[in-house]
Structure 1
Amino acid sequence: MYPTQQGSAFSIMKIALWIFIVCVLGQIIGICIFGVYFHTKLDKIEEQMEFNEDYLFLRRIQKCLKGKDVDPTLLNCQEVVAKFRSLISEVTKFDQPGEHEKLTDKRDSFTTPQVIAEPITPKTVPAVAIHLVGDKANSNKEGLQWQEKGYLTLHNQIGYTNGRVRVEVPGAYYVYSQVTFCANSTQFLKAPFVQYVYLKRENEADRILLKGANTFISQTANCALHSSQPGAIFTLRKNDLVYVRVTDPACVTYSPEYTYFGMFKVGDTS
């Protein structure tokens, strides 16, 4: 064999050797990387297992109840199930009405803390409010009459009789009233249209709480609608009566959207 051929064969062997070494090193590096990754995953799994001790405990209880194979290092299944049932029985007894004693920890080797929350009973606050709409058939100068129907008509602990709202629960109330009326040249008005909201209290003279007036009169025969809407907060006593009067009930537009009267409680008074 010529020297040139010998040198060429030696070079090929050298290259093959380097390739083999590189492959071996690659495998070693790959194994190391996989080992680090696997070790990291195991650490995460252990952390999750630590955070889920309660879940594992329940899983083992379930296995005991089903008679499946359990880790031999675990306590005897009969003892575990007996303690678990005893704990459930104590919790059930505590939940019965009239039982307010704290549970005594009788779980021996079980150290899981037990938090007992007191039941929260929501308090229902009744609505003290009323909304009435105009009653054309029965209204007069002595006072406007109203109907317990229309929009948002609700009342509890507050009453209505013969045009007057009666307070059953003392407190601070927002009283409001809107009266819409028609004024034109065919309806001669000797005085401005005035709305009064009165308070009638036992052993006292009736007094005006609110007042609204309008002096504008349309010069055409067409009806010109105007609204008077007073409202304010007052301190009212039990059995107080509130009612509305106007100077000319015949001019009032009694549609529920135009003419209404009501009040609602906004707070208590000392």
Structure 2
Amino acid sequence: MINTFHTSLPPPPVPPRQGLHPRPGIRVTPLLWFLSVIMILQMVVTFGGFVYLFRKSSMLQTELQGREYDDLIVLKRLQECDVSSDYNTLLDCGKLLSKYRSIISKVSQAEGKAGFLSAGMPFYGSGAVAHMTVERPSGSSASQTLKWNRDHSLLMKVEYLTSPGALKIVVPGDYYVYSQVTFTKVHPKIPLVQTIMRKSADKEDLLLKAFCSMRDEEAHTSFQGGVFRLEKEEQLSLNVTDMKLINFDVTATAFGLFRL
């Protein structure tokens, strides 16, 4: 028999199959939020880094330009000192030169210390050391003892006596003593020689002696050095054949010592 029954109601829903579940879309939202925050932070940090580098370079360039401008002002003042005859201007120039001498003295001391260390000589922060730069005599002198520029020399726990031109030992011990002299002329009668003399309260003796030979007025440098036991209050000085025969450049003639 054929069923001819009809109805207008929709058919019932199909029950879900076993093992199938709806797509868990809500679980993706925290992950996407975390990745979005990371990307935003990275963009902010990158942009901030570029801004910092740009401002840093701008400040550095401005500082360099300011230094160049200051240098130009100083050069202009020096030119005014050269051409001006005004009394007040000359007084200002004197103050400027005095400051320059103080700065040059500090720089020379630093360079002397750096040169001493770079020469491969041992240096002890708590020890005694001296490296003296030669000073040109102010006038004609018959003395054979060289003088040294106290302001442009390196001195630590060693005293310099200006009048005899000698180094005075403060801390007793074993010292390496050295000297370098550059001769520029030949003496017609006596040989070219440099000697390091040691003087104590009751005697004076010779520590080192070096001879120098020259040909056809060509400059020649002699160097000498040795280790000696030095006591407190002893004085060391450097003598030459004739002061008029040596080179007074600070890199050509020197005298020094350091405690081992």
Q: Which has the larger radius of gyration?
A: 1
**What TM-score results when the alignment is normalised by the length of structure 1?**
0.46
Give the structure with the larger helix fraction.
2
